[in-house]
Amino acid sequence: MADLISTRSRGPIIAVLGIGQVLVWGSSYYLPAVLAKPIATQTGWPLSWVIGGLSLGLLVSGLVSPRVGDLIEQYGGRPVLKASAALMGVGLAILAAAPTLLVFTLGWIVLGAAMGTGLYDPAFAALGRLYGERARTSITSLTLIGGFASTVCWPLSALLVERFGWRGTCLTYAGVNALIVLPLYHFGLPAETSRPASLRHGFATTSATRTLPARNGRDRLLFWLVALTMTLSSIIAAVMSVHLLTILQQRGVSLVTAVAFGAVVGPCQVGARLIDLVAGQRTHPVWESLLSAIFAALGLGLLLMNRDAILVGLVIYGGGIGLRSIVRGTLPLALFGPQGYPALVGRLAFPMLLGQAVAPSAGAVLLQHFGGHSLMLTLLGMALITLVLSVVLVPFAQRTPAIAQASPSVTET
């Protein structure tokens, strides 16, 4: 059955996960971009608190991610992703019915648990458990589909808000997750047998060592290098996604032009992923990590230093973060091997999501007190540190994982 899953069913499984990713990203992470202002206007709640719901959700998702990785390692991706869709439906229903800001915040806590069990990292972990060392192409394909989440769901959310209001939009998305995403995962993903404890010792699961690989000193060092590289990249992306328009306007760019420039980033991300899918599969992910860091640093440098090169800088930057989304799933798999991969992804997601939760607020403080130039200098410094760390990772490109692949065990759905 494992061979069947790895050959005939790979396409449908990627399609199921891809559709799920578009819908869950669109109904959680990308939701405040459209709904925040209508919510604040109708309720009178402070806009900063309304937007802060997403930061709280990301914080919760980071806190649950190590445990989520353990659950996928033990039981496979289907039950965890189904739970995510159910939690997403509950959280959105709470938002739709929220009479007070406190209840609204509670809804984001539930949505945070849903994001922690259902966005890219759990999906990568599920693919890693299914396909082992052969998961790389599947991960790249998934990010290619998932890259259209904002393209699909921002216009959809705007249409829903116009016709049904923000509460009706949240309730609609709750139904989408409960009635479409959850059944899609149930019938479209394979059921996997529980993995015996002897096959789940690749990474430590005790509370005292929950964030570290239980292998050797070199692996621990490598783990922290990868974690720091990915966390810095996530912080940069989070700040840029929230504050890019403000930064561009402080550079003298009109709002209309800033929006047009900002819209270039998404297609560049998808384009980079498509190029990787076609031409990058024979390259070790550590080189893609380095290329991503070079693109991000170069793009930010152009944005900072040359007003006439803003568009070029955004194109290069967009390609860099597009590659980084792929590397987020493929680099740990290549460096550490497939056994223990879901647990490892959960641990790596913990600092990344915490960084994403804090970064927009920290960026707002820098922006308010020191201006966009200082914020961009800070981001460029972080990008250069990421570049140095990526160079340090290059010697590990020839490294062979110490633990052999465990054969996946799959039953009929």
Q: Which DSSP string corresponds to 318-386?
A: HHHHHHHHHHHHHHHHHHH-STTHHHHHHHHHHHHHHHHHHHHHHHHHHHHHH-HHHHHHHHHHHHHHH
Asked if 53 contacts 91 with a C-beta cutoff of 8 angstroms, the reply is no
pLDDT at 189 exceeding the cut of 50? yes
Provide the pLDDT for residue 281. 65
* Averaged pLDDT for residues 4-15: 69
Q: Where are the beta strands (DSSP E) in 148-210?
A: 191-192
pLDDT at 199 exceeding the cut of 50? no
Tokens of 99: 């009479």
- Per-residue pLDDT reduced to its tens digit, 212-233: 455 567 778 888 999 999 999 9
Name which residue leads in pLDDT, 170 or 50. 170
- Per-residue pLDDT reduced to its tens digit, 111-133: 999 999 999 889 988 998 888 87
Report the first-to-last Cα separation within the chain, whole angstroms: 11
Asked if 342 contacts 128 with a C-beta cutoff of 8 angstroms, the reply is yes
Single-letter amino acid, residue 318: G
Provide the pLDDT for residue 44. 93
- Per-residue pLDDT reduced to its tens digit, 49-102: 888 898 899 999 999 989 998 899 888 889 999 999 999 999 999 999 999 999
- Per-residue pLDDT reduced to its tens digit, 232-275: 999 998 888 778 877 888 888 887 787 777 777 777 887 877 78
Provide the whole-model pTM.
0.80
CATH class of 2-195+212-411: mainly alpha
The CA–CA distances, whole Å, from 216 to 22, 157, 224, 282, 334 equal 38, 48, 13, 28, 17
Strand partners, 410: 192
Provide the pLDDT for residue 249. 81
The CA–CA distances, whole Å, from 219 to 121, 155, 227, 287, 401 equal 20, 44, 12, 19, 10
Provide the pLDDT for residue 409. 36
Alpha-carbon torsion (333, 335, 336, 337), positive or negative: positive
**Backbone phi, then psi, for 192, in 5-degree steps?**
-115, 145
Provide the pLDDT for residue 228. 94
HSE-up of 367 (CA within 13 Å, CB side)?
20
**Calpha distance 67→347 (Å, rounded):** 8
* Averaged pLDDT for residues 348-377: 86
Provide the pLDDT for residue 209. 37
3-state helix, strand, coil in the chain (%, to 5): 85, 0, 15
**Calpha distance 153→22 (Å, rounded):** 8
Q: For the chain, what is the mean pLDDT?
A: 83
Provide the pLDDT for residue 271. 81
Q: Where are the alpha helices (DSSP H) in 251-340?
A: 255-262, 265-279, 285-305, 310-336
- Per-residue pLDDT reduced to its tens digit, 281-326: 678 888 888 999 999 999 999 988 877 888 898 999 988 888 888 8
Tokens of 121: 């990292």
Q: Where are the chain's structural domains?
A: 2-195+212-411
Residues in Cβ contact with 372 at an 8 Å cutoff, skipping those fewer than 6 apart: 243, 246, 247, 250, 251
DSSP 3-state of 119: coil
Tokens of 386: 């990421």
pLDDT at 8 exceeding the cut of 60? no
Provide the pLDDT for residue 382. 95
**Calpha distance 11→139 (Å, rounded):** 12
Residues in Cβ contact with 205 at an 8 Å cutoff, skipping those fewer than 6 apart: 70, 343
**Calpha distance 200→197 (Å, rounded):** 5
Provide the pLDDT for residue 2. 45
Angle between helical axes of 120-131 and 47-75 (0-180°, round to 10): 10
Provide the pLDDT for residue 47. 83
- Per-residue pLDDT reduced to its tens digit, 377-407: 999 999 999 999 999 998 877 654 443 333 3
Name which residue leads in pLDDT, 209 or 341. 341
